[in-house]
Structure 1
């Protein structure tokens, strides 16, 4: 079984972790592997609570533990990405994306899973 110190060996660097996390299919497999071989869901949630990152995704927790990168809340993450993304969208697309992102802020990355947003 791996330890916290060994987490950083699962991915090359913070951008490698982000790359895996940004693809919903790879993210699902990564989380299954992480849960099966490293930490279960309860341990990951305990880590999240330990660093006061309850409003952040697990990827933020892993970055913090592995690379001492400060966790950013989902709300902050959305605000950072929103400006560039929204410039390219129509009003109806913006409205839909606002709805999806509000659910993401509330509940986390599982709101963006392929099963919920297949198309």
Structure 2
């Protein structure tokens, strides 16, 4: 099974920036990402390929940045299905996004606590 959070990727982000800035980025993700999940649902329900693609792309990119190894690949697939307007495949993949998102969110919240104490 693929890990929810690739700690090596997250640590690389922290090392390339600093813990305080990485925590700020995590906070932005935690604040904004639920809307992206809603956009995915809305794009799918409205058969709006561009809306679906944009939301999946953004969530994929953010997921890759933080090492969200379950969420990012799902969003990559979803982005491709949106571009091809393969609605059934998009629906099947999108159905997995909420659980992967919740797991990713919990993992980042835990990591945030760890890195939030660095330098204090």
| TM-score of the alignment, normalized to the shorter chain, above 0.5 | no
What's the TM-score, normalizing by structure 2? 0.31
Q: Which has the higher helix share?
A: 2
What's the TM-score, normalizing by structure 1? 0.31
